[in-house]
């Protein structure tokens, strides 16, 4: 860790470190954006609903990577019993679709902050991208709109982009989003610092490199989106609050599309994703999607 910090200082900061990695390590693959879709062992039907709508498959996925530098992978670790039935099922699915990024991580809902750290750290070790995105597997995404939004900030350092929020710090035990370390946030009733909601967010390469370098000492709060925001709170980071990244499902995103304001991402706040996404993802896509192939026409 000390070596990594010293190296960062000697090379003139995080931006130079990120650029240096891309120029000296020939094994890194260049990309515009890496999109990691957070998923779980039990979510095969969710993954299929994504593949059947906004995520290209097979040769089209490879074409998107080659022509636009847009990499998309489902992100998952391994089970508590490596090599067991759950892991073998993912191995078979990967052999069929070749669209997974496997992490050295034991899956579990209460381990999302750890998984997030490992996702960014693993991604920057494989791809030298301008941006890294995390999205949940029950969220609809318009890839062309996302790429266009990110391109506006391509040459800025340290960008953190999403729908920024500041919810209450819940101290009462038994609540879904209870924060065991609530006392760190001041008096009872206080709110969290501003951070991007966890359904989808993007960070620039400098911030992904920062996470990778400081992985062992980044504190994890109960909620993944709070953890990510806390890692950047003391840094010179531009917070981009983009409300097109948190549209509601139809009729909200449909009305906006009809008005010419296509959404980057759509989901239901009440479900922290699209409610009954397996059944409704195609409905959302048909009503709010940008059209097949739109992403290939985006000027990057």
Token pair recorded at residue 192: 């969290």
CA pair distance 24, 3, nearest whole angstrom = 18
Q: Where are the beta strands (DSSP E) in 22-143?
A: 29-38, 70-78, 100-106, 127-136, 140-141
All domains in the chain, ordered by first residue: 2-297 (3.90.550.10)
CA pair distance 281, 284, nearest whole angstrom = 5
- Would you write out the chain's pLDDT as a tens digit for each of its 300 residues? 343 433 443 344 444 444 444 444 458 999 999 999 999 999 999 999 999 999 999 999 999 999 999 999 999 999 999 889 999 999 999 999 999 999 999 997 778 899 999 999 999 999 999 999 999 999 999 999 999 999 999 999 999 999 999 988 887 787 777 788 787 887 787 888 999 999 999 999 999 999 999 999 999 988 899 999 999 999 999 999 999 999 999 999 999 999 999 999 999 999 999 999 999 999 999 999 999 889 999 988
164 beta partners: 196
CA pair distance 26, 21, nearest whole angstrom = 9
pTM of the model: 0.89
CA pair distance 229, 207, nearest whole angstrom = 11
Coil, strand or helix at 236: coil
């Amino acid at each position: 860790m000390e070596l990594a910090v010293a190296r960062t200082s000697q090379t003139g900061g995080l931006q130079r470190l990120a650029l240096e990695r891309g120029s000296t390590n020939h094994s890194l693959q260049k990309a515009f954006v890496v999109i990691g879709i957070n998923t779980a062992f039990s979510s095969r039907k969710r993954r299929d609903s994504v593949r059947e709508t906004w995520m290209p498959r097979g040769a089209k996925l490879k074409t998107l990577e080659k022509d636009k530098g847009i990499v998309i992978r489902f992100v998952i670790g391994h089970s508590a019993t490596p090599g067991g039935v759950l892991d073998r099922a993912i191995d078979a699915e990967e052999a069929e679709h070749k669209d997974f990024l496997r992490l050295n991580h034991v899956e579990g809902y209460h381990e999302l902050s750890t998984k997030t750290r490992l996702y960014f750290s693993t991604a920057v070790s494989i791809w030298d991208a301008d941006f890294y995105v995390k999205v949940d597997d029950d969220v609809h995404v318009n890839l062309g709109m996302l790429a266009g939004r990110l391109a506006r900030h391509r040459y800025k350092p340290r960008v953190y982009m999403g729908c920024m929020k500041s919810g209450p710090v819940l101290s009462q035990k038994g609540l879904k989003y209870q924060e065991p370390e609530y006392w760190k946030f001041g008096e009872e009733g206080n709110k969290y610092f501003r951070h991007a909601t966890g359904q989808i967010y993007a960070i620039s390469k400098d911030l992904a490199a920062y996470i990778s370098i400081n992985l062992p000492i980044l504190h994890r709060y109960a909620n993944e989106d709070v953890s990510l925001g806390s890692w950047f709170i003391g840094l010179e980071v531009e917070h981009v609050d983009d409300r097109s990244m948190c549209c509601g499902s139809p009729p909200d995103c449909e009305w906006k599309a009809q008005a010419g304001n296509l959404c980057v991402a759509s989901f239901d706040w009440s479900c922290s994703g699209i409610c009954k996404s397996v059944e409704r993802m195609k409905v959302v896509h048909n009503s709010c999607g940008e059209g097949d192939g739109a992403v290939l026409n985006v000027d990057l």
